[in-house]
Chain A
């Protein structure tokens, strides 16, 4: 069964460093998303991406964040200068056309020290 894959599964970084989280969405999907879940809290929407551009973003997704789909398969989330409060599980998701279900990856646990 096709699945969304994310790498790495866990990343530890120093405050102020840049991190890139990587995702390979399901191949025929058209919509791509990043969500995050701070430990013990609910899953929060960060950004959606369609037709090679951001279609919607939350207020969390400030100038420190950026997304890219550089080669038609990978979908990346970059955090330019990490803060302690960026520590969370980051989930990538993808969806086919229409009102279809979204499939999530296993997540990348980001720890900022």
Chain B
């Protein structure tokens, strides 16, 4: 089964608009993390939300988590051209008292912000 599926696959907006990306997953999780990847570059950690949290903010980022629907959303407010990148959700569903933290990534959303 697929874990961590994002939609839309691609999103194109104007600078100043908000961007919303969604992620769905299939198994119970410990936490869900969002990452950004600029073209051909490394993965930058954006935010982590734990399974007992429903919403989290960091600067212009707002993440929600609905464990009953097994879904999460990432909202970027007042987008900038520099936000252009691929965004991935990754779920940590590792079991046991000591988390080994294996992450399962989705396909990602390609966000393009036009100046």
Q: Which residues of A contact B (CB under 8 A)?
A: 31, 33, 35, 41-45, 48, 50, 55-56, 89, 91, 93, 95, 98-107, 109
* Contact A102/B33 with A43-B105, A48-B100 known, Cβ cut-off 8 Å: yes
CB distance from A102 to the nearest CB of B (A): 6
Q: Is the interface of A mostly helix, strand, loop or mixed?
A: strand
- Which residues of chain B have C-beta atoms less than 8 A from A31's C-beta? 100-101
B45 touches which of A41, A56, A102 (Cβ 8 Å):
A102
- Which residues of chain B have C-beta atoms less than 8 A from A107's C-beta? 41-43
Q: How far is the CA of A98 from the CA of B99 in the complex (A)?
A: 6
Whether the pair A103, B45 counts as a contact (CB closer than 8 A) is yes
Q: Which residues of B contact A (CB under 8 A)?
A: 30-31, 33, 35, 40-45, 48, 50, 88, 90, 92, 94, 98-108
- Which residues of chain A have C-beta atoms less than 8 A from B41's C-beta? 106-107
> What number of residue pairs across chains A and B have CB atoms under 8 A from each other?
66
- Which residues of chain A have C-beta atoms less than 8 A from B45's C-beta? 101-104
- Which residues of chain A have C-beta atoms less than 8 A from B94's C-beta? 56
B2's closest neighbor in chain A, by CB?
Answer: A42
Whether the pair A42, B92 counts as a contact (CB closer than 8 A) is no
Whether the pair A99, B101 counts as a contact (CB closer than 8 A) is yes
B92 touches which of A41, A56, A89, A99 (Cβ 8 Å):
A99
- Which residues of chain B have C-beta atoms less than 8 A from A101's C-beta? 33, 45, 48
CB distance from A4 to the nearest CB of B (A): 9
- Which residues of chain B have C-beta atoms less than 8 A from A104's C-beta? 35, 42-45
Whether the pair B42, A48 counts as a contact (CB closer than 8 A) is no
CB distance from A21 to the nearest CB of B (A): 14
B35's closest neighbor in chain A, by CB?
Answer: A104
CB distance from B73 to the nearest CB of A (A): 18
A42 touches which of B48, B88, B99 (Cβ 8 Å):
B88
A106's closest neighbor in chain B, by CB?
Answer: B42
